Amino acid sequence: MKAIRILLCVFLGSGFVAANPEQCTLSDLQSLDSICKSRACTAEQTCSCKLTCTDVVTKGALAVCPEDHTPISCSCGMGCGSWDVRNQQQCHCQCSGIDWTSARCCKIIASYETVGR
């Protein structure tokens, strides 16, 4: 879980999450792969990472991500721009009377393969 938080901070800080989350550039993919390898791969392994995301939209002020996902962005109805992430899994809109809340929820899937010698 720590690795996911670290990687998400790196992605958010470096602009990895694009305006259109369904598309990412070749540079984004190269960054993800190199970060994955530098954080989790030994010399005897081949590593690859995949970022998978889903959207959760709910009525009210709270949108909960699936158990193995982390919210990387939130959106609130009624023009509310104030939100926070709770328990590393929930988007919470802070304005009163919110009609809907949306969360962009992502997880990193790493795979490892031992290199034969």
Q: What is the tens place of the pLDDT at every residue in 18-30?
A: 444 445 555 555 5
- The pLDDT, as a whole number, for residue 116 is 60
Q: What is the pTM of this model?
A: 0.61
- The pLDDT, as a whole number, for residue 108 is 82
Ranges of residues in the chain whose predicted pLDDT is under 50: 1-22
DSSP assignment of 29-77: HHHHHHHHHHHH--TTEEEEEEEEEEEEEEESSEEE--TT-EEEEEEES
- The pLDDT, as a whole number, for residue 13 is 44
For the chain, domain boundaries: 2-114
CATH, domain 2-114, list 2.40.30.260, 1.20.120.1460, 2.40.420.20, 2.60.40.4230: 2.60.40.4230
- The pLDDT, as a whole number, for residue 101 is 97
- The pLDDT, as a whole number, for residue 61 is 96
